[in-house]
Amino acid sequence: MKLTPLFFSLIFITSLYSDQLQWLTLEQAKKTIEYLNENDVKEVVLWCACCDNDVKQKVVVEKFYYRQTENPAYYEIVIEGTSTGAPLNKAVDLAYVHVKRGSKWRCLGKELKFECNPCTKPFKF
């Protein structure tokens, strides 16, 4: 029975990192799309460094947009493109979307100055 508090502690810690910037305000969603368009982002890396067995996935972007979630107060960013030649159409968490700035990939959420923990420093890929 002593495992129960440990189990719930692990679930709590894991939940701190999941869905940090999955649902956004309308203002955040618009700011994100504006940033992606102004910086002519054509590729992103999707990677949750906090998640077990998650591998870096480079995406060639065809289109970004935001859409309302099932909760009308929130929006999500959707990326359409290809990854390793396969089509991709996915709502993303900005804490785990990385954009290339200079020679390193940086967390999009951090670039936008949104509060999040991408669980990684800028990296080369």
Q: Which pair of structure tokens corresponds to residue 88?
A: 């991709």
What whole-number distance in Å separates Cα of residue 80 and Cα of residue 61?
6
Q: What is the mean pLDDT of residues 92-118?
A: 97
Q: Is the pLDDT of residue 120 over 80?
A: yes
Amino acid at 23: W
Could you say which DSSP state residue 18 is in? T
Closest CA to 68 of 39, 19, 26: 26
Cα distance from N-terminal residue to C-terminal residue, the chain:
44
Q: What is the pLDDT of residue 16?
A: 43
Q: Where does the pLDDT of residue 2 fall: very low under 50, low under 70, confident under 90, or very high at 90 and above?
A: low
Domain ranges of the chain: 19-111
Q: What is the pLDDT of residue 19?
A: 77
Catalogue the E-assigned strands of 75-123.
Answer: 75-83, 86-92, 97-101, 104-107
Q: What is the mean pLDDT of residues 89-103?
A: 97
Q: Is the pLDDT of residue 5 over 90?
A: no
Q: What is the mean pLDDT of residues 100-118?
A: 97
- Predicted confidence (pLDDT) per residue in 36-69, tens digit: 999 999 999 999 999 999 999 999 999 999 999 9
